[in-house]
Structure formats: C-alpha cells, structure tokens
Chains A and B, each alone.
Chain A
Amino acid sequence: MAEHFGLKYLRKEVLPTAFCPGCYNGILMNALFQAFMELGIEDLKRFVFVSGIGCSSWIPSPFIKADSLHTLHGRAIPVATGVKLANPELNVIVIGGDGDLASIGGNHLLHAARRNMDLLVIMINNQVYGMTRGQAAPTTPHGMITPTTPYGNPERPMDVASIIAGTNANYVARWCISQYIPLKNSIKDALSRYSRGFRFIEVYAPCVTYVVRREGKTPGEKLKELMKKCIRIETWKNMSREEREKHVATGVFKAEDKPGFIETYNKYIAQALGEK
C-alpha cells in the first residue's frame, strides 16, 4: 500500500496523534509536509521546531521527526531566537496556538517581528484555549460563550496577522485551514522565496471540540462552511462592516525580502571589526 507523503516526516511510533478526531492541526501538518516534499526536503535533520504549551504545540513534540524544543507557555519564540542566533545554519520553525503566541507570548511575537528575526512562525488560531477546556482567548469572537465568558465574550478578537504586518516582519499571511493549497504554497514561499527575516503565517482553524462541536457541527461541515466564509483580503476590503464581520480575510498581508536580523547584525559587526 502506498504511504502517505507526511509519514516520512513523522515519528511513526507515536502515531496516531493525540489530537481529537477531526482536529484541524493534522490538516496543517499535511500542508507543512507537502511543502517540505515539494521543496525536495528529504529529512528534517537541519530543522529545529520550537513550540510552547497548548494543543498545537504538540504538533512538533513529539510527532514531527526533527529536533524539537517543547518550551514553557508563551516562550517558544525567545527559545527559537536563541537557537537561530547560536546556529544560523539551522531552519527554525515555531508552531503554536493563539493563546501561546498572541496572549502569554504576545510580547515576544511583537519583538521578534520588530527585529525581523530569521524565524518562521506558524500560529494556529483555534479561537480558544483548547487544551484547558476551551476558555476564551484573545482571538475568541465577540459574544461567544466559553467557560470563562459564560454570559458571552465582552471582548473583541485580536487581528494578529494585521498587527504583525504592522511591524518589520518580512512575510505575513493568513489562511483558513480550508484553503489547503494556498496554505501549502504560502509555507513553501516562507521557506524558499522568502527564506530570511521574520515570516508569520496565521492559520484560522477553529477548535473542533470547543468551537465546532459546541456549535453543533461536525468537523467536515465546518470545513465546508469555512470554504465560503474565508475570502481573499482584496474582496474583504470592499465589503460593508457587517459583511466583513461574517467573513475571515485571508491572503498574503505582506511579502518583502529585507535582510533579517542575523544578516544585519553580522554586517554591523564586520564593519566595526574590519575598521580596526
């Protein structure tokens, strides 16, 4: 029997994954692995995955067959920064959730983006804290009922991709988990055409247990709904305010190829030490 293209990047002995049936984390894994495959990456020896705490942080640890650091809640980006600075030859990828990267680790996300640190950060926005039973996160929709917002969420969600696009980051995109091909191509771009500086991909993928099933939908039904709900940012911009709130703006928010932190740092050091 033919083998799935993703299996060679996985630790087969720990499969199936620990994720709930239908969890969209696995779809992101497919897109990531297909991007690796299409880029001709045979194994992940020269890749380091860094994650924090939360369901999506379990994607690399222990499932992906690569070096991985499963760090403290919110601290994946600083650990990844340390790894990359200490050995710039390594490809360093951070995978984490919205709670981990945008809430408790929000400051690190902003500053790594500001520095244009040479990292690829994939943030799975599942709208809640899935691992701890679906509490409200900074990305939870306004009015949504969760264990910590039993009367409806009084806060409005954070548009993380737009915020990061406002920094010095090189590449910023947002895709829905239902947009498999553009998501896969975007990951490919972030590893090839835009291989330096800070690259941020937000993946809109509601938690199947605490968002989708609470809505009374199956993961498949929600996926089909997302296919209609997620539209290109160009279309979204021309919509009325009410229409906008019903849709998710997706696409590439920013794509530049400025020198990343490491190149700039090395240039300054070389200039200073060369002049002596």
Chain B
Amino acid sequence: MAHYKVFINKKLCKGCGICIEICPRNALRFNGINPETGYRNPEQVGECIGCRQCMWYCPDQAIVVVDEQ
C-alpha cells in the first residue's frame, strides 16, 4: 500500500488555497498564519491518494508529494 505525504514549503507558500480546493480527498486544510510570511499555510489532515494535483497546481513550487512506501 502506498502511503503519500504532502510537504508544504512554508517559505514559499502564499496561502492562495488552490491546493485545498483542488484536492479530491479534502486532505488539506489551512492551519493558522505563518508569522514569517504573513500568509496562511495549509497542512495535511486527511489521507492522500497521491494524485499530485496540489503539487502541479501550486503556483509557488511550495508543495511536494512524497510516496513514503
């Protein structure tokens, strides 16, 4: 069984929310404001199926999806 993890680069994330809206499993959610950038950053809260849409559609190269298997 594949086990995917979504990494968010908080230095690059601008909190646009595309990843949260594009995720077919609603696996991402905003989690507070990053004091360094002033932007909201998402975090993984649900199961990731590894479709990588969040990575492709992240305009800030801030998301990496890794297969931890």
Contact = CB atoms under 8 A, between A and B. Distances in A.
Nearest to A220: B21
Interface residues of B, number: 27
Nearest to A3: B64
Nearest to B23: A220
B59 A25 contact: yes
Interface stretch (A4-12, A143-151, A154-162): A4-12
A218 interface: yes
Given A1-B64, A218-B21, A27 B57 contact: yes
A180 B64 contact: no
B14 A22 contact: yes
Contact of A223 (B7, B15, B18, B64): B18
A29 interface: yes
B62 to A, nearest CB: 7
Interface in B5-38: 7, 9, 11-12, 14-22, 37
B21 A30 contact: no
B64 A27 contact: no
Interface string B33-69: 0000101000000000000010111111111101000
B59 A23 contact: yes
A15 B11 CA distance: 9
A4 B56 CA distance: 10
Interface of B: 7, 9, 11-12, 14-22, 37, 39, 53, 55-64, 66
Given A15-B12, A30-B61, A220-B17, 14 more contacts: A2-B7, A4-B9, A4-B55, A4-B61, A7-B61, A16-B12, A21-B15, A26-B58, A26-B60, A27-B57, A34-B56, A180-B57, A220-B16, A224-B22
What 8 A-B pairs have minimum CB-CB distances, sorted nearest first?
A: A26-B59, A220-B21, A22-B16, A21-B14, A21-B16, A220-B18, A180-B56, A4-B61
